[in-house]
């Protein structure tokens, strides 16, 4: 339970900033070893503060959970999405052999 709380966001269940750093370190080592590339994406929800201010924090939390779910649904199991805090998410897309795969994923995230 303590490990879970230290490494995962309680609202979304996603890895948190601490776990993201660990996964990024491992992904970079694996890329170097296997000769693949990775992409690191930063996602910020525009106007999120307005949702909290006008609709309340419960709606803001609902929006964050839904955003996390939608981001995850665009990715493969081997990729990582983490909530960095507030309305910020980071994504590690691993095992890229060429940019074509990334160009396939990016439009889904928008």
Q: How far apart are CA 55 and CA 36, in angstroms?
A: 44
Q: Is the pLDDT of residue 98 over 90?
A: no
- Catalytic one among 9, 58, 79, 87? 87
Catalytic status, residue 87? yes
Taking CA atoms, 32 is separated from 46, 81, 92, 94, 95, in Å, by 34, 21, 15, 11, 11
2-109: in CATH 3.30.70.270: yes
Q: How far apart are CA 74 and CA 20, in angstroms?
A: 18
For strands 37-44 and 88-96, give the pairing. antiparallel
pLDDT tens-digit series, residues 29-83: 999 999 999 999 999 999 999 999 999 999 999 999 999 999 999 999 999 999 9
Stated pTM of the model: 0.91
**What pLDDT, on a 0 to 100 scale, did the predictor assign at position 58?**
97
Percent of the chain with pLDDT over 90: 86
């Amino acid at each position: 339970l303590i490990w879970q709380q230290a490494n995962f966001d309680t609202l979304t269940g996603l890895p948190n900033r601490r776990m993201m750093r660990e996964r990024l370190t491992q992904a970079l080592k694996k890329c170097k070893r296997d000769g693949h590339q990775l992409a690191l994406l930063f996602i910020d929800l525009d106007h999120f503060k307005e949702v909290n201010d006008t609709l309340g924090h419960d709606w803001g939390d609902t929006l964050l959970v839904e955003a996390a779910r939608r981001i995850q649904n665009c990715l493969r199991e081997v990729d990582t999405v983490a909530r960095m805090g507030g309305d910020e998410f980071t994504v590690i897309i691993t095992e890229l052999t060429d940019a074509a795969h990334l160009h396939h994923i990016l439009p889904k995230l928008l």
